[in-house]
Amino acid sequence: MNLVLNAICDKTRFLLLEKISQGEICACKLPQYAKVSQPAVSQHLKILLDSKLVKMKKDGKKRLYSISKIGITILRDVSSWNKSI
């Protein structure tokens, strides 16, 4: 659970998780969305992967990310917390 909390407490990672939840996306498109460098996105994605909030598959040289079942649950729960505040 600590890995999950660490993963979602960062604003950039939460933003990436929300974007990935909209559908499978290439890691190459995430820096422009998050407005951070590719190396920074890679570090954030590693944390999201380690916490099992996202999944990754390789397609040639591309790495495609999608949200996991755990990620869907966490994102839904956190969104409901925001509505109740």
Going from the first residue of the chain to its last (85 residues), give the mean pLDDT of each consecutive group of 10, the final group possibly shorter. 85 95 97 96 97 96 97 89 61
Topology of domain 2-84 in CATH is Arc Repressor Mutant, subunit A (1.10.10)
pLDDT of residue 47: 96
pLDDT of residue 83: 62
3-state helix, strand, coil in the chain (%, to 5): 65, 15, 20
**Which residues, 6+ apart, have CB-to-CB distance to 77 below 8 Å?**
none
H-type alpha helices, the chain = 2-8, 11-21, 30-34, 38-50, 69-84
- Residue that the structure tokens 């790495």 belong to: 63
